[in-house]
């Protein structure tokens, strides 16, 4: 039969063994976590439409210049494409894409719509990029801060009512785009159009 001192010593040894096992598991976990961090990709690949064979690589956490253009064109074109009636579609688009714009810019567009609501009735609109001779879009991007850009893009905007073309123009737009940390379910791009830092200018009048 074990004495009281022997039992205490045995319990002490058991405790030490368990603590040793736990410390070993924690060290193994730290080593595994370190290896995962060390092996994380430092770059990610992207492709640029319309030719998806063209693209490049960028460091994780940094937005490449071309992605700022891709994003601003995609969002602006979606908001300003009306297939049936701009008076109904435009406000719905502003609501649908609100997470892709700053609150100030979204409010500005909504106010403009409300002030001139009648002109949107039965209006159809299409937006497309204007290609250069090699087929790539006419645009330029200037970084102004980390993950913040000024984007110039030449876009063709065409409006019609009841089959009659109101205007068909190539316009140069000026967007400010920045990174935005919002829930990915609302905005997987993690970017926002802050606004237009200059009013668009007319490049070419088609109609």
Give mean pLDDT, residues 106-130. Answer: 95
How far apart, in whole angstroms, are the C-alpha atoms of residue 179 and residue 189? Answer: 9
Q: What is the pLDDT of residues 66-115, one digit of tens each?
A: 999 999 999 999 999 999 999 999 999 999 999 999 999 999 999 999 99
Angle value at C-alpha 100, between 169 and 193, nearest 5 degrees:
55
Largest Cα separation within the chain, whole Å, is 106
Reference 155, options 91, 96, 76; nearest CA is 76
Enter the pTM of the model. 0.73
* β pairing state of 148-161 and 139-145: antiparallel
Report the sign of the C-alpha dihedral through residues 82, 86, 91, 94, in that order: positive
pLDDT of residue 20: 74
Q: Please state the length of the chain.
A: 207
């Amino acid at each position: 039969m074990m004495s009281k001192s022997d039992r205490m010593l045995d319990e002490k040894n058991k405790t030490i063994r368990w603590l040793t096992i736990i410390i070993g598991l924690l060290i193994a976990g730290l080593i595994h976590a370190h290896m995962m961090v060390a092996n994380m990709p430092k770059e990610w690949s992207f492709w640029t439409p319309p030719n998806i064979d063209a693209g490049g690589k960028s460091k994780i956490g940094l937005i490449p210049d071309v992605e700022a253009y891709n994003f601003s064109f995609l969002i602006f074109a979606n908001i300003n494409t009306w297939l049936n009636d701009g008076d109904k579609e435009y406000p719905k688009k502003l609501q649908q894409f609100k997470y892709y714009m700053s609150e100030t810019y979204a409010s500005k567009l909504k106010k403009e719509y409300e002030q001139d609501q009648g002109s949107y009735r039965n209006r159809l609109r299409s937006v497309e990029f204007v290609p250069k001779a090699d087929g790539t879009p006419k645009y330029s991007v200037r970084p102004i801060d980390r993950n913040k850009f000024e984007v110039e893009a030449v876009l063709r905007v065409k409006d019609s009512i009841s089959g009659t073309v109101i205007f068909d123009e190539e316009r140069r737009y000026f967007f400010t785009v920045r990174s935005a940390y919002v829930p990915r379910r609302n905005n997987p791009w993690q970017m926002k159009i802050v606004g237009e830092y200059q009013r668009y200018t007319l490049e070419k009048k088609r109609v």
